[in-house]
Chains A and B, each alone.
Chain A
Amino acid sequence: MAANAIDQTRRMLSLVTYLRERPGAHVSDVARAFGITEDELISDLDVLPLCGTSFRGGDLLDIDTDGDRIWWHNPAALSAEAAEPLRIAADEATALLVAARAVATLPGLRESDRLALLRATAKLEAAAGEVASASARLSVTFESEGGVFADVDRAISERRRLWIRYYSPSRDEVTEREIDPIRLVSVGHTYVEAWCRRSEARRTFRLDRVAEIRIMDEVSAPPEIELRDLSAGLVQPAAEDPEVVVEVGPGGRWVAEYYPHDSAEELADGGLRITLRTPDPSSLRRLALRLGRDGHIVAPAELADSARDAAREALAAYDGAA
C-alpha cells in the first residue's frame, strides 16, 4: 500500500535497521515480521536502493533481492548509529497503548495473555516516555458478557458444539439452538459467528442476547465457509431484500444512526425519509411501535397495518383493566 507515504517511510526506516542485522534474510520472514504482504515488502525494496545520505557516488543503499532473499551489499553506507531503532512517536504510542488497554479489558481474554499484555503495556509506556501521556485522550471499552464469552472461546479452541437459548428481538422469542462456533468478533458489541445447525446456515449471535449456554460433548464441525470482511458492519442487507420506507420527525432521527440504510432524505419539518432493506420487514414492527408520534412506516403497507393493529390490541387491554 504505497498510498500513504508516511506509513511507508516509517516502515522503511525500521526495515533498514532490521535488514542491517540480518544479511540474506528471507522475503517471507521479513514480510511476516513486519505484518505486511510480500508485495508490499518488494515495493519497499524497490525504493530503498534510491535512498541514502546522498544520491551521488556510492552513498545509496545497495539493497537487492532475488525474490527469495534480501542482500545489502554496502551496509557501511549507513553508520551503525544512523541505523539504530527509532523512538516511538506520540501517535504510535497512542495507537498501540489505547488498543492494548482496550484488549486487556476483554473478559474472555486468557489470564496469561492479559498479564502479558499488561506487562507489555508498562514496558511500552516506559519506552515511549512523555509522549505516552497523550494516549489518555483516547479510550475504548469493549462490551462483552463475561461468562458467555469464556464458554464460546473455550468451545472454539476445543472444537466443541454449543447449545444456546437465544433471544431474537425481532420475534421477541427465545429459541434453543445448537451451533458450531467459528469466531468471536467485537464490533461495539461482541458476537459469535457460527454455523447454526437448526437453520443449516451461517448466523451471527450477539453475546448479550444469549440467555443460556452449555458446551456440548459433540465435536463442532462447521462447513468450510469463507469468512466475511466485517469491517463494513455486521448487518449487510442483500440487494434482493424487501425495501422498507420510514418517515420520522426530528425526534426520530436516531433511526438513521441505528439502522444501516440505503438513503435518508431530509424532510421540510426537520425529519427524515429513510429507506432501508431487511430480509424480514415484520421484524421492524418493534421500531414502528417505539417511534410513536415521532414517525411512521410508509411502506410496506402490511408492516404499517400490523403496528397499528398491535397498538389497538394493546390499548384494549388498558380499557378492560381500567
Chain B
Amino acid sequence: MAIAKAERLMNLALCLLGTRRPLSKRELRGSIEAYLEAGSDDSFNRMFERDKDDLRELGLVIETVENLDGEVGYLARRDSNRLPPVTLDAEEAAALGLAAKVWQQARLAGAASGALQKLRAAGMPEDVDPYEAHGALEPRIPVHEASFEPLMLACRDRRSVVFDYRKATAARPEQRHVEPWALECWRGHWYLAGWDRDRQAERVFRLSRITGKVRSRAGRFQAPVPDVVTVRETVASWAGETATRSARIRLRSGAGYPLRAKAGSVRELGDGWDELEIPYGHGLDAWLVEFGPDVVVLEPAELRADVMDRLRAVAKG
C-alpha cells in the first residue's frame, strides 16, 4: 500500500526541522521511506517539489542553500520557524476558540484550527470550554460560492484573474479580467473588489454571479492597490440605501410594517388608510409593488408611473 501523504509530509518536516546543516535531496531520499519507494528519479523529484510547496503552505520556512560542491541542500531554520513568545489568558483563549469556529469553508476552517493548535502547543490555556463561555451565540460565516477559494488565494498572492461574470440583468456572462484586491462578506453575500482591466476602473463583483472557473494569470498588477478598499458603500448604493429624496404613499392600516419602520412620518387618515412619507431610493418601485393593493403612491409622479407600469405588467398575466 502506498504510504499516506500526511506521513510523508510529516517525515520531511521533521527531517528539515531536526537538522542543523542543509540536507541534500539525496540524503532526504535516503531518510524517508516514501521517497525510496517513489520509483524513478522523475517521480521522486515531482513528489519532493510538491511536498516542499505543501509544507510552505502550512507555514514552514524552508531555505535552499548551495554548498561548496555546488550541491543544493534544504533546511528549516529554527529562528525563522519558531513562534515568538505569546501569552494568552483563559478568557482570550476562549474568545479565539469561538472565533475559530465561525468558518464554514474547509480551507479557512482548517487554517483557523491549525493556528489555534499551534497556540495550544505553545501553552495557551485550555480550561475554558468556548461553548460554555459564550452561551447561545453561534456566529457562522457562510461560503457557498465555488469561486471563493481561488479568489482568496489570488487576493493573497496578488495574482490577476479571469472569470465569466453575469451582471444581475444581463442575459449572458461576459469575460472579465480583474486584479483582485479584497473579498468582503456583507449581509451573507461575498463580494470581490478589484481593478477591472477591460474597463480600466475599480469594480465590485458579487461572487454568486461568477459563472464557471476562476483562472489566474501570471504577471504583475498594472494598477496600484489602494490602501482602503470600500466594498460596502458600493453594494449599499446598488441596494438603494442612499436615498436622497422622499415619497408620499397611502398604506392600508395594519399592513406594510417594514414601510412603517422606515417612514419619516405616519399620519392616520381615519378611513382604514394611513399616509406615510418614506425615503425614495433606487428599487423603491419594485418594493412597493410587493404590497399589491395595500399601497397607493401619491407622489412623486415618476414613482407613481413606475409602480403603475409594473402593476400593469402583472395584471396582464
Name A residues whose Cβ lies closer than 8 Å to a Cβ of B: 2, 4-18, 32-35, 47-48, 50-56, 78-79, 81-82, 84-96, 98-100, 102-103, 106, 108-109, 112-113, 116-117, 119-120, 123-124, 126-127, 129, 134, 136-143, 152-153, 156-157, 167, 169, 172-174, 181-189, 211, 230-231, 233, 250-251, 253-254, 257, 269-271, 285-293, 296, 304, 307-308, 310-318, 321
B135 touches A153 (CB 8 A): yes
Q: Within 8 Å CB of A14, what residues of B?
A: 114, 117-118, 120-121
A53 touches B137 (CB 8 A): no
B293 touches A310 (CB 8 A): yes
- How close is A96's CB to chain B, nearest CB, in angstroms? 4
Give Cα distance in the complex from A53 to B75, angstroms.
12
Task: Give the size range of B's interface with the partner.
Answer: 35 or more
Closest residue of chain A to B139 (Cβ to Cβ) is: A186
- How close is B58's CB to chain A, nearest CB, in angstroms? 4
B83 touches A127 (CB 8 A): yes
Known: A113-B134, A120-B88, A173-B254. A141 touches B232 (CB 8 A): yes
Known: A120-B93, A270-B172. A13 touches B98 (CB 8 A): no
**CB < 8 Å neighbour of A4 from B92, B110, B294:** B110
Give Cα distance in the complex from A27 to B169, angstroms.
56
B92 touches A119 (CB 8 A): yes
Q: Within 8 Å CB of B3, what residues of A?
A: 50
**CB < 8 Å neighbour of A253 from B138, B168, B254:** B168
**Shortest 3 CB-CB distances between A and B: which pairs?**
A188-B188, A270-B171, A89-B59
- How close is A41's CB to chain B, nearest CB, in angstroms? 12
B121 touches A55 (CB 8 A): no
Residue among B106, B116, B118, B123 with the highest chain A CB neighbour number at 10 A: B118
Give Cα distance in the complex from A127 to B59, angstroms.
13
- How close is B158's CB to chain A, nearest CB, in angstroms? 9
A269 touches B13 (CB 8 A): no
Q: Within 8 Å CB of B19, what residues of A?
A: 53
Give Cα distance in the complex from A95 to B58, angstroms.
12
Q: Within 8 Å CB of B156, what residues of A?
A: 90-91, 94, 134, 137
Closest residue of chain A to B87 (Cβ to Cβ) is: A123
Closest residue of chain A to B80 (Cβ to Cβ) is: A87
Closest residue of chain B to A232 (Cβ to Cβ) is: B144
B136 touches A183 (CB 8 A): yes
B292 touches A53 (CB 8 A): no
A315 touches B308 (CB 8 A): yes
Q: Within 8 Å CB of A185, what residues of B?
A: 138, 140
B170 touches A250 (CB 8 A): yes
The answer, yes or no, to whether B317 is at the interface (CB within 8 Å) is yes
Known: A92-B118, A139-B185, A292-B289. A103 touches B139 (CB 8 A): yes
Closest residue of chain A to B55 (Cβ to Cβ) is: A9
**CB < 8 Å neighbour of B7 from A15, A51, A312:** A51
**CB < 8 Å neighbour of B183 from A91, A137, A271, A286:** A137
CB neighbors of A among B149-197 (8 A)? 152, 155-156, 166, 168-172, 181-189
B296 touches A318 (CB 8 A): yes
Known: A9-B58, A120-B92. A103 touches B293 (CB 8 A): no
Closest residue of chain B to A18 (Cβ to Cβ) is: B121
Give Cα distance in the complex from A32 to B127, angstroms.
10
Q: Within 8 Å CB of B254, what residues of A?
A: 173
B135 touches A136 (CB 8 A): no
Known: A99-B112, A108-B137. A87 touches B84 (CB 8 A): yes
A271 touches B171 (CB 8 A): yes
**CB < 8 Å neighbour of B313 from A86, A183, A292:** A292
Q: Within 8 Å CB of A321, what residues of B?
A: 296
Instruction: Name A's interface SS.
Output: helix
B311 touches A79 (CB 8 A): no
Q: Within 8 Å CB of B142, what residues of A?
A: 187-188, 231, 233
Q: Within 8 Å CB of B47, what residues of A?
A: none
Give Cα distance in the complex from A86 to B57, angstroms.
13
| One of B65-73, B212-220, B256-264 at the interface | B256-264
Closest residue of chain A to B209 (Cβ to Cβ) is: A257
The answer, yes or no, to whether B38 is at the interface (CB within 8 Å) is no
A7 touches B115 (CB 8 A): no
- How close is B221's CB to chain A, nearest CB, in angstroms? 13
The answer, yes or no, to whether B86 is at the interface (CB within 8 Å) is yes
Closest residue of chain B to A285 (Cβ to Cβ) is: B292
The answer, yes or no, to whether B233 is at the interface (CB within 8 Å) is no
A100 touches B96 (CB 8 A): yes
Closest residue of chain A to B181 (Cβ to Cβ) is: A137
Q: Within 8 Å CB of B99, what residues of A?
A: 96, 99-100, 102-103, 117
10 contacts between A and B (CB under 8 A): A11-B117, A55-B32, A94-B108, A102-B99, A106-B137, A116-B89, A126-B86, A187-B188, A189-B188, A253-B169
The answer, yes or no, to whether B4 is at the interface (CB within 8 Å) is yes
Closest residue of chain A to B107 (Cβ to Cβ) is: A91
Give Cα distance in the complex from A91 to B105, angstroms.
13
**CB < 8 Å neighbour of B4 from A47, A106, A183, A313:** A47
Give Cα distance in the complex from A50 to B120, angstroms.
24
B317 touches A308 (CB 8 A): yes
A6 touches B58 (CB 8 A): yes
Q: Within 8 Å CB of A296, what residues of B?
A: 314, 317
The answer, yes or no, to whether B223 is at the interface (CB within 8 Å) is no
New contact pairs (10) apart from A10-B117, A123-B88, CB-CB < 8 Å: A93-B115, A95-B112, A96-B111, A113-B94, A120-B88, A140-B184, A173-B255, A188-B187, A230-B140, A251-B169
- How close is A46's CB to chain B, nearest CB, in angstroms? 9
Residue among B60, B117, B156 with the highest chain A CB neighbour number at 10 A: B117
